[in-house]
Structures are given as C-alpha cells and as structure tokens.
Amino acid sequence: MTGGGIENERYDIRTFIAGKGGIDMEQYKDQLVKLIFDGFPEYYHTEDDAKADVEWELRESLGAIAIALDRDKVVGYGTLHPLHEGYDEILFGDAYVLPSYRRRGMYTQLVDVRLRIAREWGAKSVEIMTDGTNVAIPSLIERRGFKFTGILPGNYRKEL
C-alpha cells in the first residue's frame, strides 16, 4: 500500500478522439470541467473558462481526451494533440489525477493509453512538458521511455 491505495490498480480509462468519437463525453463533461477547474486554479479563473477549454477539446481540437473513471466518477484525465497536421509529432497536453487517487498507477495508465493512440495515429515521436512541481512524474515518464530533451526545463520526448 502506498498513498492510501494499491499500487498498479486498474482503472476504467475511456477515450474521446476528435472527429472519430468514442465515449459519449456529454455524460462526463460537467465532471471533467470541475476536475480541470479544481486541478488548475492558477490557470482557470472561473469554471466557465474551464468549460470553454473542454468544449474546444470536444468540438474543435484535432486531438483526444482520455478520462479515468472510478465507477461513473471522473477521477483523472489526460489530453494529446498533434503538433502538426500530419500527426507525426504528438504533444501530451494537460493531465490531472485527483489527489486521493494518486500513487495507484492511474497516471501511468493515462500515459499508456495516450501512447497507444499516438501509435495508432502513426506518430513518430511524443513530447510531454512537466511543470516541475510534481517530482514523481519525471521518473514515471522516463520508465515509459521518455528522455529529457534539455531544450526547456521539464521537456521530455519519446521516439515511437
């Protein structure tokens, strides 16, 4: 047991891919907005700001969203986007896991699902930027094959 949970617990990770669909995000949209708003208070000034971002992700983005569910509750999410129209380079965008669900393998599952999607898109590489406040993330993503680029602090890349 670590952090009050079981290591490598498996969660129901569902995806929505822009232009291709996936799960019906309407049933999870309000929960996702709240999770994003609560998870990034320094970025979103109001829940409407977070809602606008979610709406953009669902309707106009070329990317995808992976959400982690505990029963029907959204407890984590991660996004990915092509850096170019050709989908050869992918950027892992925002990701967040509720504090009470951390250190149980959920973020690892979100990384793995997004890597699978990037491979399905035919990506040659994936980039991820970390903000440096979560000291566990660099070692986790390095175990998944990402290498520190040295270009910017917290910038990692994985060749696929």
> CA distances (Å), 84 to each of 14, 18, 81, 88, 125, in order?
24, 15, 9, 7, 12
Return the pLDDT at 21.
Answer: 62
| Interval 49-68 mean pLDDT | 83
d(CA 68, CA 125): 24
Helix (H, G, I), strand (E, B) or coil at 60: coil
Residue 82 lies in a domain: yes
Residue 105 lies in a domain: yes
How many Cα atoms are found within 13 Å in the side-chain-facing hemisphere of 9?
17
Structural domain count of the chain? 1
Work out the number of other CB atoms within 10 angstroms of the CB of residue 45.
10
- The C-alpha angle with vertex 47 and arms to 41 and 49, in degrees rounded to 5, equals 85
pTM exceeding the 0.85 threshold for the entire prediction: no
Return the pLDDT at 110.
Answer: 94
User: How far is CA 100 from its chain centroid?
Assistant: 17
Indicate the average pLDDT of the chain: 83
- The C-alpha angle with vertex 56 and arms to 53 and 59, in degrees rounded to 5, equals 150
Residue 155 lies in a domain: no
> Which range scores top for mean pLDDT: 93-107, 110-124, 140-154?
110-124
Residue 146 lies in a domain: no
Cβ proximity of 92 and 126 under 8 Å: yes
How many Cα atoms are found within 13 Å in the side-chain-facing hemisphere of 104?
18
Residue 71 burial (10 A CB sphere; 0-12, 13-18, 19+): exposed
Residue 114 lies in a domain: yes
CATH code of the domain in which 25 resides: 3.40.630.30
The parent domain of residue 54 ranges over 12-128
